[in-house]
Amino acid sequence: MDWFRLSNEAEVASPALLIFEERVESNLRRMIEIAGDPARLRPHVKTHKLGPLVERQLALGINKFKCATIAEAEMCAQADAPDVLIAMPAVGPNVARLCKLAKKYPATRFSTLIDDAGAMQALGLAAVKAGLTLDVFLDLDCGQNRTGIKPGNEALELYRQATTTAGLKVAGLHAYDGHIHEADLTKRRALYETAFGPVLAFRQQLESAGLAVPVLVAGGTPTFPFHAEQTDRQCSPGTTVLWDFGYADKHVDMPFLPAALLLARVVSKPGANRLCLDLGHKSVAAENPHPRVRFIELPDAPAISQSEEHLVIETPRAAEFSVGDTLHGIPRHVCPTVALYNEATVVRGGAAVGTWPIARARRLTV
């Protein structure tokens, strides 16, 4: 039987997100192999949002995590993760929520990012009021121009201020190079080196000024192999856990397996060469142009139209499929696709064996 087919597929309602446990395990072990030591990894959980996958990583020796939301941070804490970095500046009501989170889960060391003096002071005041000391990383903009402060004198002064801000403890530097995703390995490496030259020079500047830099958290998925070559930083790949065809097509140098599939069914046959599937915008991430999903059975079938609940594809092989037949698709972008589902169907040994809840909400209990 093909690896993607389930022996009890008739019992799984579609559309469904399938997580293949054995493939996840393979990807996790490859991450550790590339990093050289699980202690060097701080995987981003935004890709999967699954507490059981956090627990599995803990069992493999990975004990540090990165996330994007307070809900994801709480999911990690509920899985007994000891160290969680929220890679999003805390502003507005989220400042109080972060303090509440830290009080509710004292066994977990929470940290967040700073890149603004005013926001940093507000965070420190809230921490003092809550009777807490919160770890903070100075977020450096190494070229993505999204969050972070450019390395230099202004950043040094902010770092220095953070070291004396009541309620805060400086944990080090954070630099995410998500703008680097060239397919050509040589070009990708050159861009990585250009982006991180100023980061490393800034770390030296801080240390020369007598300011300690305990940790550098660096990179994402496309540059993971480059950062892993250096032993002076923590690596933060995310998509590597589940993989998708967007990265698989572009980064053929990375040895990961698609571990998350979308199960869809033919619901109608609107023409001799067309199939209508129950996989609309609400079931697969729609921020990219088509193809948003690649079906293993029909990898070359183009999308003709997609609406909230329907996807129409065209194929000369349409006659081979009947209404009710299943297709299995690899998403182009797995992270926002996972966020569309309340639960994932777990596949083990070629069969669906249960479900895992997905922490897709912006709020769990905090």
Residue 82 reports pLDDT greater than 80: yes
| First-last CA distance in the chain | 45
pLDDT at position 41 is 98
Rounded to whole angstroms, the Cα distance separating 276 from 265 reads 8
Fold held by 21-241: TIM Barrel (3.20.20)
- Comparison of pLDDT for 317 and 362, the residue scoring more: 317
Decide if 85 contacts 66 (C-beta within 8 A): yes
Q: Where are the domains of the chain?
A: 9-16+256-357, 21-241
Residue 195 reports pLDDT greater than 80: yes
Answer yes or no: CATH 3.30.2020.30 is held by domain 9-16+256-357.
no
pLDDT at position 211 is 98
pLDDT at position 319 is 96
pLDDT at position 239 is 98
pLDDT at position 97 is 98
Q: pTM score, two decimals?
A: 0.96
What mean pLDDT comes out for the span 278-291?
Answer: 97
Q: Compute the radius of gyration of the chain from its Cα atoms.
A: 22
pLDDT at position 150 is 98
Dump pLDDT digits (tens) for 214-257.
999 999 999 999 999 999 999 999 999 999 999 999 999 999 99
Which of 109, 112, 113, 114 lies closest to 64 in space, CA to CA? 109
Q: What is the 3-state secondary structure (H, E, C) of the chain?
A: CCCCCCCCHHHCCCCEEEEEHHHHHHHHHHHHHHHCCHHHECCEHHHCCEHHHHHHHHHCCCCEEEECCHHHHHHHHHCCCCEEEECCCCCCHHHHHHHHHHHHCCCCEEEEEECCHHHHHHHHHHHHHHCCCEEEEEEECCCCCCCCECCCHHHHHHHHHHHCCCCEEEEEEEECCCCCCCCCHHHHHHHHHHHHHHHHHHHHHHHHCCCCCCEEEECCCCCHHHHHCCCCCEECCCHHHCCCHHHHHHCCCCCCCCCEEEEEEEEECCCCCEEEECCCCCCCCCCCCCCCEEECCCCCCCEEEECCCCEEEECCCHHHCCCCCEEEEEECCHHHHHCCCCEEEEEECCEEEEEEEECCCCCCCC
- Cα dihedral 283/288/291/297 (nearest 10): -40
Dump pLDDT digits (tens) for 157-192.
999 999 999 999 999 999 999 999 999 999 999 999
Q: Confidence class of residue 1 from pLDDT cuts 50, 70 and 90?
A: confident
Decide if 264 contacts 273 (C-beta within 8 A): no
- Block residue for tokens 């507490």: 51
Rounded to whole angstroms, the Cα distance separating 336 from 351 reads 25
Do the first three CATH levels of 9-16+256-357 and 21-241 match, i.e. the same topology? no
- Cα dihedral 51/57/61/63 (nearest 10): -50
Dump pLDDT digits (tens) for 117-147.
999 999 999 999 999 999 999 999 999 999 9
Averaged pLDDT of the chain: 97
Query: Which residues are 13's β-sheet partners?
Result: none
Dump pLDDT digits (tens) for 235-247.
999 999 999 999 9
What mean pLDDT comes out for the span 285-301?
Answer: 97
Q: Confidence class of residue 305 from pLDDT cuts 50, 70 and 90?
A: very high
pLDDT at position 59 is 98
pLDDT at position 362 is 87
Rounded to whole angstroms, the Cα distance separating 174 from 162 reads 14
